Amino acid sequence: MSVFAEEARIAERVVAWQARHGRNHLPWQQTRDPYRVWLSEIMLQQTQVSTVLDYYARFLARFPDVTALANAPQDEVMGLWSGLGYYSRARNLHRCAQQVVAEHGGAFPRTAEVLATLPGIGRSTAGAIAAFCFSERVPILDANVRRVLTRLLGFDKDMASAANERLLWGLAESLLPSQDLGYAMPRYTQGLMDLGASICTPRAPRCSACPVMESCQALKDGDAERYPVRTRKLTRRAESWHLAIVRDERGRVWLQRRPPTGIWAGMHCVPVFSDDAACAAFVAGLGDPSQRVLEELPPFVHVLTHRDLHLHPVLISGDVGGGALGEGEWLGQDQWPSVGLPAPIRKLLDATQARLW
């Protein structure tokens, strides 16, 4: 069989397998509206489908179209995103909606090339939106698809190299369907995603159920788990954060907006200090020392992609002065859902209200 015929058969098999065995009933698969597809693609980055379902429904109920999202206050967008993590996605989501409205008249661009110029839309997400909504013949290469393709092709070059990454994009392009694109492109794109999620898993792939097993180089070599090859490892760092939860006599908590870049950028948070002494100096300036109560809460670790945050919370209540404590504002529990609070801070505040420690 010629190489081209082999490639065509791979695409055909993925398309046919997706129609029979893939995921076809998720809410964002019932539409070709790029606003909805884009929203789901951004939410699905680094987040499980089961978690995204609720958030997706809530977002659409509140922001039914891109104009509604663009016009919303940033705090409200962050508030609705709270708990999904990776908050830069929410900030970019909002900026992207504003750019679609301001520069594209409220209609998403119809090609992957232009979609990829928008905030938060990388090449793979742009490819997915263009394939799903406009049947454009463009590849995607998210983590799942990268795993499937490197195994299928026996592509053992180091994916830490940008040149090798480009090479794989080229190969991914050569495998795309070439006929009946209106039907084939959405199915093929979804099929590769589904294969990576359910069959060609990082550990113990279920090759006997795989539609491309006859063509798979890694299966022939018996070493699927070695792919994708990546030599450079993520370096993790540990950091200690001392959190001052200042609660006034009305139960309100002093919250500050985090800086525009870095961890939890732009979200609301209790005051953060890098060491115990700085936290103690802040606490010393609060109200009348004889009338306030200071409690050290159990420390815990919050794991981020590149960092472990060791969080050391203290709760200061009673007479805490009540006035402004620098930048920030007093917010009661009923206001917390409407501002963006990082999930661990939200949990911590809820626990302090209920005294669950």
The yes or no reply on residue 213 touching ligand SF4 (CB under 6 A) is yes
Stretches 34-42, 148-156, 240-248, 340-348: which one binds ligand SF4 (CB under 6 A)? 148-156
The yes or no reply on residue 10 touching ligand SF4 (CB under 6 A) is no
# of chain residues touching ligand SF4 (CB under 6 A)? 14
Structural contact between residues 60 and 30, judged by C-beta atoms closer than 8 angstroms: no
The yes or no reply on residue 224 touching ligand SF4 (CB under 6 A) is yes
Candidates 6, 41, 165, 249; catalytic one = 41
Single out the residue of 167, 171, 207, 351 in contact with ligand SF4 (rule: CB under 6 A): 207
Closest CB to ligand SF4 among residues 195, 309: 195
Buried b (16+ CB within 10 A) or exposed e, 155-169: bbeebeeeebeeebb
From the list 105, 94, 99, 50, the residue with the least C-alpha distance to 72 is 94
Q: Strands 307-318 and 237-246, how do they pair?
A: parallel
The yes or no reply on residue 153 touching ligand SF4 (CB under 6 A) is no
Q: Read off φ and ψ for residue 64, nearest 5 degrees.
A: -70, -20
41 given a catalytic annotation? yes
The yes or no reply on residue 216 touching ligand SF4 (CB under 6 A) is yes
Write down the least CB distance from residue 174 to ligand SF4, Å: 16
Stretches 56-64, 198-206, 238-246, 295-303: which one binds ligand SF4 (CB under 6 A)? 198-206
Structural contact between residues 77 and 98, judged by C-beta atoms closer than 8 angstroms: no
The CA-CA-CA angle for residues 127, 131, 132, to 5°, reads 120
Computed over its alpha carbons, how large is the radius of gyration of the chain?
24
Q: What stretch of H or E contains 289? A: none
Single out the residue of 70, 131, 148, 315 in contact with ligand SF4 (rule: CB under 6 A): 148
The yes or no reply on residue 151 touching ligand SF4 (CB under 6 A) is yes
Stretches 26-34, 214-222, 236-244, 248-256: which one binds ligand SF4 (CB under 6 A)? 214-222
The yes or no reply on residue 78 touching ligand SF4 (CB under 6 A) is no
Write down the least CB distance from residue 52 to ligand SF4, Å: 24
Type of residue at 335: Q
The yes or no reply on residue 219 touching ligand SF4 (CB under 6 A) is yes
Q: Which residues contact 203 (CB under 8 A, 6 or more apart)?
A: 225
Rounded Cα distance between 349 and 247, Å, is 10
Single out the residue of 14, 60, 97, 152 in contact with ligand SF4 (rule: CB under 6 A): 152
Closest CB to ligand SF4 among residues 106, 154: 154
Structural contact between residues 224 and 296, judged by C-beta atoms closer than 8 angstroms: no
From the list 124, 101, 104, 108, the residue with the least C-alpha distance to 42 is 124
Stretches 218-226, 232-240, 250-258, 325-333: which one binds ligand SF4 (CB under 6 A)? 218-226
The yes or no reply on residue 200 touching ligand SF4 (CB under 6 A) is yes
DSSP state of 331: E
The yes or no reply on residue 199 touching ligand SF4 (CB under 6 A) is yes
Residue 331: is it exposed, middle or buried by C-beta count within 10 angstroms (0-12/13-18/19+)?
middle
DSSP state of 291: G
Residues paired with 239 in a beta bridge? 309
Single out the residue of 120, 127, 191, 205 in contact with ligand SF4 (rule: CB under 6 A): 205
Give contact residues for ligand SF4 (rule: CB under 6 A). 148, 151-152, 199-200, 205, 207, 210, 212-213, 216, 218-219, 224
State the catalytic residues.
41
